[in-house]
Amino acid sequence: MDAPDRVNAGQAVYTPLTLKVYDSVVLGFSNRFLWRCPTSELEAMYDRNVSDDHLDIGVGTGYFLDRAKWPTNDPKITLVDLNDYSLRAAANRIARYAPTTVVANVFEPLPNDVKFRSIGINYLLHCLPGRMAEKAPIVFDTLLSVAAEGASFFGATILQGDAPRSPAAQSLMNFYNRKGIFSNDGDTLQDLEHALIGRFQDVQIKQLGSCCRVRGTQRLTEPSRWISAGKTQ
């Protein structure tokens, strides 16, 4: 499978049918019983980090955007995804905010010169092809190119490497990787940390089961600090 096909495989699973059951299967069952990362943790992540001018990449069903506690009643929201079904589902779900939708590949420059104050990439990285050390730097550089000064970046991804996982979780990951739905065989916490601290400041990393929740801000001129596993260094 060549590179474009591998990119497409990660998003092709999101059809109108699968999107109808996504919230219950992934956010309801898998998060709690397999990845050991309660969906409430991800909701809280959105509540803490969304701004009045937000970009979301890899939008799923729009669940978190719909439930987020926005700092304004009229936020500007831009949705980016390769999958038109996901874009339409998410846009319809948050139609009250009149979001802008963009079909784009995060491995390529985004067709937009707007700068955003917050950027979310929840459950995106583990669907992208390549090892974490290869794909994360490309994705993060793409985000920085559209980040306003001091913008916050946040998201979560499912890891392997030293991440704890049950036999059931490993079996499902193996199946998803064979199908191209996941590409996280080479995704480790160490490679994710390296890519983050080289590009963002005030980096925060919290591991919950197989899931890793991250946050950072656009690097400014002052030295950065980073936080991992509850320690500040």
Per-position DSSP letters for 10-56, written without gaps between them: HHHT--HHHHHHHIIIIIIIIIIIIS---HHHHHHHHHHH--SEEEE
Domain with 99, as residue range(s), is: 3-232
Q: Which residue has the tokens 């985000």?
A: 143
- What's the confidence (pLDDT) of residue 220? 60
Q: Decide if 207 contacts 229 (C-beta within 8 A).
A: yes
Phi, psi (5° rounding) for residue 163?
-65, 135
Q: Decide if 206 contacts 231 (C-beta within 8 A).
A: no
pLDDT average, residue stretch 100-106: 95
Cα angle 93, 96, 100; round to 5? 75
- What's the confidence (pLDDT) of residue 225? 44
Give the predicted TM-score (pTM) of the model: 0.90
pLDDT band, very low/low/confident/very high, at 112 (cuts 50, 70, 90): confident
Domain count, the chain: 1
pLDDT in tens, 167-215: 999 999 999 999 999 999 999 999 999 999 989 999 999 999 999 999 9
More confident residue, 113 or 159: 159
pLDDT average, residue stretch 133-161: 96
